Amino acid sequence: MSILIKNTNILTMVENTIVKGNILVEDNLITRIGEFDFEADEIIDGSNFITMPGIVNAHTHIAMSLLRNYADDLPFWPWLTEKIWPAEANLNEESVYWGSMLSIAEMIASGTTTFCDMYFFTEETIKAVKETGIRANLSRGLVSGEEEGEKLQNAINLHNEFHLKDEGRIRIDLGPHAPYTCSDDYLKKIAGEAGKRDTNIHIHLSESKKEIEDSIEKNGNTPIEHVNSLGLFDHPTIAAHCVNVNDDDIQILADKKVNVVNNPSSNLKLANGFAPVNEMMKKGINVALGTDGPSSNNNQDMFEEMHLAALVNKVISNDTTVLPAYEVLKMATVNGAKALRVDNIVGTLEVGKHADIILVDIHNPHMYPHHDLIASLVYSASSSDVDTVIVDGKILYQNKKFLTIDIETVYKKAQKASERLTGDKNEI
């Protein structure tokens, strides 16, 4: 199948500029960009849109959509240990499937074409990814304790069975939850298995002050120093949060080429602080953006994350020039693709790359006048401006309508699954 996006405002993310032109997609690849004529199977009038690469949500736990607005306005540790973990103890295959479907629908409708997830019952999230057509890096959450060997074997089996399946849209990483939930021996085993398979490690690091204090008391060093001493960073690593870090931590992250994922909304909502993104970038660290789980955000809106990342970094740096709009857009596209190690196929609009493309409507009151369309994407646009979403050359969402999801069924099933987890029942 061929798709021609005509007369559109093209932001390739290769250069900091928007140009008028056409984009041709044939099968799953971008084959032409510029001024040309072509009789395609599907023609999209892109004149009122910015056409840009799909957004990459580089850290989330999508099935936690079932716990959205369940335990809000609590301190981080009581929220996690007294509310979230007990509810998660009730998870089963069905609940993870419908929670995944709900979040995937939300992500597609808001322009996310690739996400990086760590959670449980990963087979069910894989099923949802296959059915909906989105792209994903998935990891089974790993924690020490009862049946830790079986959990790691399950993660290995997932990699053996599903890695690079469905035209390469599915990639399987290894996901040790955090150094405070994984023993040193377990982290070493996970790192060894990642090395054997040349796959990513996806881990939470230095998210809260308590985590830092406990690590120093127990190990004599920070979480980042500690996992580095265990050899974890000798493998490609996606490190979520990295909020409470010192200069030595930042230098380690830079030296080891660790990919950091900033999660502005979640860190602010849980009062964990804000990562020193500008300092990290000055050191050459690749910093991507993520939403974290929808129970601590409480949505999967990457436009909101871009907006917050730009504003908060200016405040904490006391510098209005820090993190300009284009750099934030890179965090949400190019940097995210690099963190997931899919930047050879997505993250920019270039001939030969896979067609992961979104069209953002600029014909709205809040998008006029059209002074600087790149700035408008970060400072003015909202996720509701996304009109069309293409992943791997297939249209998943068009004219704000889902083409691969029965959204009403997803709403009903997700609501029932949530009630089973929490015991709450809403009669609306």
Domain-wise residue ranges, the chain: 2-53+346-402, 55-339
Residue 392 is encoded by which pair of tokens?
């791997």
- Of 137, 60, 55, 57, the C-alpha closest to 296 is 60
Cα separation, 272 vs 387, whole angstroms: 34
CATH number for 2-53+346-402 (one of 2.30.40.10, 2.40.50.180, 3.10.105.10, 3.40.250.10): it is 2.30.40.10
Report pLDDT for 425. Answer: 63
Q: How far lies 139's CA from each of 54, 286, 427, in Å? A: 21, 21, 35
CA distance 391 to 49: 17
Q: Which CATH code fits 55-339?
A: 3.20.20.140
Note the pLDDT of residue 426: 60
Asked if 243 and 205 touch (Cβ cutoff 8 Å), the reply is no
| 148-162 vs 122-132: helix crossing angle, rounded to 10 | 20
**What distance in Å separates the CA atoms of residue 71 and residue 82, rounded to the nearest whole number?**
10
Q: Does residue 244 sit in helix, strand or coil?
A: coil
Q: Are 239 and 205 in contact (CB under 8 A)?
A: yes
Q: How far is CA 270 from CA 37, 353, 395, 409, 413, in A?
A: 52, 38, 36, 32, 28
Check the CA dihedral 334-340-341-342 and report its sign.
Answer: negative
Look at residue 19 in the predicted model and tell me its pLDDT. Answer: 98
Query: Residues 317, 361: contact at Cβ < 8 Å?
Result: no
Tokens of 189: 């085993």
Tens-of-pLDDT digits for all 428 residues of the chain?
999 999 999 999 999 999 999 999 999 999 999 999 999 999 999 999 999 999 999 999 999 999 999 989 999 899 889 999 999 999 999 999 999 999 999 999 999 999 999 999 999 999 999 999 999 999 999 999 999 999 999 999 999 999 999 999 999 999 999 999 999 999 999 999 999 999 999 999 999 999 999 999 999 999 999 999 999 999 999 999 999 999 999 999 999 999 999 999 999 999 999 999 999 999 999 999 999 999 999 999 999 999 999 999 999 999 999 999 999 999 999 999 999 999 999 999 999 999 999 999 999 999 999 999 999 999 999 999 999 999 999 999 999 999 999 999 999 999 999 999 987 666 44
22 three-state secondary structure:
strand
Are 129 and 166 spatial neighbours (Cβ–Cβ below 8 Å)? Answer: yes
What count of residues does the chain have? 428
